[in-house]
Structure 1
Amino acid sequence: MLASYVGSAVEYYDFLLYVTASSLVFAKLFFGDLSPTAGTIASLATLAVGYVSRPLGAVVFGHFGDRLGRKSMLITTLVMMGVSTTLIGLLPTSDQVGALAPTLLIVLRVVQGVSVGGEWGGASLMAFEHAPVHRRGFATSLSAAGGPTGTALAAAALGLFSLLPDDQFYSWGWRVPFLLSAALVGIGLWTRLKVSESPLFVQARLDREEHGETPKAPLWEVLRTPRPLILSFFGLLATFTFYSLVSSFGLTYAHAHGLSLSAVLGIQVLGGLTCVVGYAVSGAASDRFGRRTVIVFGGVAGSLFTFPFLQMIGSGEALETTAAFLVMFGLVVGPLFGPTGAFLSEQYDTGARYTGASLGYQAASTVGGGLAPLILASLLATQDGGHGFILLFVIGIGVLSVLALAAMKPRTETAAPAAVPRAAPRLAAGGEGGPQQPERA
């Protein structure tokens, strides 16, 4: 759990540092020859590129994660992310090299997207497959909590340097948080190298060898029964749409309505910390009340609070804006993301779990996380600042996701190995050496 949390925090620090910078900084540095509105949309488009490439990472790393093991893929994704993020911190701006600057930015963003596309599934599965059955929601929620932790770290780092005079911040200050990635990756690698392979994966591989079975292509196993994949995609659209509304579009909107850059980043730090608590509480609640119940609660709460949220963050008042963000992060984003890792993992067997869970999650993130900020910004521009189209879009996505979630149900074997495989001697299946408790229906 600790290795999944720390590694994910480092990975998402890198990925979400870009999200924050694209919303608040990159429009000026890499698209300065465009109007402010067009520059913001172009900057958010590079953000979308990272999300579009995430399903590719899910397929590639999912395949090898299901065939070779979870641990090696997690190490590979972490190194890829660290290298690409560090290079972003060294990029020249458009004033220095013209069109080459945004081109290089897009290439590195694609590498980030492929990396995080493989990261989520591996980290979530390592926590899921090590944990006792009755604690899997809580275990995977801590892995997911690495995301908002990374967000808080990224916002804090960027916010600290945003206190510099504008000429210093835009010339070199914004680069330092990206360059810090190199040190953080070292910490993440140190934790991940000490973790043994998933006991469920080891047991499944030993069973195949004992029966002389040839492993099947994980992607084929997922696509030949596509119902869980399709429902996962639609079920998670609201999750990523609400997250985009808060973390990307909301930041830009609040900044445009009078809040300073440092104030917006400070709010994001508090929001990230609120999410960590919300994820953990929601994951534990899903072990008791069911994954679907908790996720639907988050979607309904988000639909009801979207209009007040937009009104409050458009007020230009720091206290009111902070309260709006904290409510959305704690009561909407937390319940939507906290149980998701366990919920998706329970849809697939061990031999195709990395591929299936990752692909469903990343496909939804491409639309809800990558395209939603562009759609929201465009809807706002269409109505000259009105909220009507945004409300219809968000609530419509919420209803679609609730219907998809209602049609989903676990279909996988979820019991941990009864005996500890020789290949993983330190991993007792039942937690602290105790017996495995039965799975809750």
Structure 2
Amino acid sequence: MTQAPKKPLAPNTSAPAGCAESEETNHRELVRVARASLIGTTMEWYDFFVYASAAGLVFGDHYFSGLGSSAAVPASLATIGVSFLARPIGGIIASHLGDRIGRKAVMVVTLLLMGLSTIGVGLLPTYASIGVTAPVLLVILRLLQGLSAGGEWGGAALMSVEHAPGGRRGYYGSAPQLGTPIGLLLATGVFLAVSASTIDDQFASWGWRIPFLLSVALIAIGFYVRSQVEESPVFVDMKRRQPHHVAPPGDVVARPPP
């Protein structure tokens, strides 16, 4: 008896479709995280470099005039270095908090801290108005910028790398690196546009404040973008496995590497 030919089995497309949908979702999230890291880091370094530009142009006259003309500009430029003293401390604090409350929360906090410090500089009265309090407040605001910058770069790179799949971490981890030169170009371009749009007296009086006050818009953009990303899957897995684990910076120094 001849058997009827078997009908070919219909291909099971449900699993591949599900896999394709999952891969598409993961890809969108990776792009979202990389974009948030790039934009946030650009905003942070824009604020950081805006201060450096103003320190060389106007801060000597406005905040250190009590030291005399010969010492005002060097004192102004010295405040740029204050932030580099604070950056390692900011990195330590941010890394500790990142293991406690999450990477995403710390990234938002560093963005807000940098932005509010920058706006504070833009609104700060001069030495002629409040005396020695003005340079003191200026240094404090610069310290806050340094703390923020110290936590920002490492946090942004960590988020990008921890979301990335194996073999692509270097690619996605490069996004925060681009924020530094873009922030420098943006800060320089804004100062150039403001100086070209004002006469010397206007720029020295109030024009230099505009790049600092523009940080309001940049904070809003950066905050929105970063609020859209999901928490690092590495952090979520760590909290699931060890919900009460605390990794203070001291453990890194005290414990030998594996």
Shared fold per TM-score greater than 0.5: yes
Letter in 2 for 1:192: R
Aligned to 1:219: 249
Tell me what 2:157 maps to. Answer: 124
Deviation at 1:95, TM superposition (A): 2.5
Unaligned runs of 5+ in 2: 1-33
1:248 corresponding residue in structure 2: none
For 1:34 and 1:103, the matched residues in 2 are separated by 13
Q: 233, 236, 244: which one pairs with 1:199?
A: 233
Give the residue type in structure 1 aligned to 2:237.
Answer: Q
Query: 5 Å matches for 1:289-300?
Result: none
Question: C-alpha separation between the residues in 2 aligned to 1:226 and 1:96?
Answer: 54
Residue 196 of structure 1 and its aligned partner are, at CA, apart by: 0.3
**Map of 1:144-159 to 2, 5 A cutoff?**
144-159=177-192
**Which deviations, in whole Å up to 9, do the C-alpha atoms of 1:275-316 show, x marking residues without a partner?**
xxxxxxxxxxxxxxxxxxxxxxxxxxxxxxxxxxxxxxxxxx
How many residues are paired up?
224
**1:22 is matched with which residue: 32, 35, 55?**
55
- Per the alignment, residue 217 of structure 2 pairs with 183
Q: Match for 1:72 among 105, 108, 111?
A: 105
Superposed CA deviations along residues 370-410 of structure 1, whole A, max 9, x for unmatched, are xxxxxxxxxxxxxxxxxxxxxxxxxxxxxxxxxxxxxxxxx
- CA deviations 1:143-174 (Å, max 9, x no partner) are 12111111111111111112221110010000
- Tell me the TM-score normalized by structure 1: 0.48
- 1:198 Cα shift? 0.8
Tell me if 1:103 matches 2:133.
no
Match of 1:292 in 2: none
- Structure 1 residue identity aligned to 2:41: S
Q: Give the C-alpha shift of residue 35 in structure 1.
A: 5.1
TM-superposed CA distance for 1:3, in Å, is 0.4
Maintained 8 Å contact 2:83/2:142: yes
Q: 1:22 to 1:133 in 2, by over 3 A?
A: farther
Matched, 1:85 2:118: yes
In the aligned structure 2, how far is the partner of 1:37 from the partner of 1:48?
19
Task: Measure the CA separation in 2 of the matches of 1:72 and 1:8.
Answer: 15
User: Higher relative CO (CA 8 A, sep ≥ 6), structure 1 or 2?
Assistant: 2
Kept after mapping to 1: 8 A contact 2:99/2:246: no
**Deviation of 1:83 (Å):** 1.1
Matched, 1:174 2:208: yes
Matched, 1:62 2:95: yes
Aligned with 2:123: secondary structure? coil
Aligned partners of 1:113, 1:70: CA distance in 2, in Å? 19
Summarize the alignment of residues 21-420 of structure 1 with structure 2, pairs less than 5 Å apart.
21-34=54-67, 36-163=69-196, 164-209=198-243, 214-225=244-255
Match of 1:8 among 27, 41, 45: 41
Q: Percent identity?
A: 46
C-alpha separation between the residues in 1 aligned to 2:250 and 2:65? 45
